Amino acid sequence: MPLVDAPTRLPQGRGWITRRIPEAGPSAGALHDLLQQPHTQDFVQAAPQAARLLRPLCHALGIDQPAWLKRPPRPRPPRKPRAPRPRRPSFNDPDLHFRPYEVQAARYFRKKYGPD
C-alpha cells in the first residue's frame, strides 16, 4: 500500500462547480455581471494575467465568455509540401522499351477509345 495517496483530480466539464455546489450559482451570476462592466474589459486589457484567471473560472462556473476574454485562435502550422506527382509515361519514352507494335496498338486504342 502506497504511503502517499494519488492527487485528486477536479472535474473538467463546463459548469461543474454549479452542478456539484448549487450555492455557487449566485457567485456565477456576480461574475457574469462583473464581466459585463466596461471597466473590467479595460482592466483585463491592461493586465492580461487576469484573463488567465478568469477563463478557467468562467468555464468551471458555466459562464459564456465575452469575445474580448476569449483567446485568439492558434496559428496553424505550415503545411508540408506535397510530393511531386509521378509523371505519366509516354509511348515515346525510350526508358519504357516498348516494341514498335506495342506503341502502334496503344495509339490505336487511344484513338478508338479516347485518352484514359
The reply to whether 9 falls in a domain is no
The reply to whether 114 falls in a domain is no
The reply to whether 109 falls in a domain is no
Secondary structure of residue 2 in the 3-state scheme:
coil
pLDDT for residue 91 is more than 70: no
Residue 23's domain comprises 16-61
Band the pLDDT of 2: cuts 50, 70, 90: low
Distances (CA, A) of 100 to 88, 108, 111, 116: 19, 12, 17, 21
The reply to whether 30 falls in a domain is yes
pLDDT in tens, 15-28: 999 999 989 999 99
Return the closest-CA partner of residue 24 out of 50, 57, 1: 57
Q: What are the residues whose beta carbons fall under 8 Å from the beta carbon of 66, sequence distance 6 or more? A: 35, 36, 41
Confidence (pTM): 0.58
Instruction: Look at the alpha carbons of 110, 112, 115, 116 in this order and tell me if their dihedral is positive or negative.
Output: negative
The reply to whether 27 falls in a domain is yes
Domain count, the chain: 1
The predicted pLDDT at position 62 comes to: 93
The predicted pLDDT at position 1 comes to: 55
pLDDT in tens, 19-64: 999 899 999 999 999 999 999 999 999 999 999 999 999 999 999 9
- In the block, cell 465575452 appears at 66
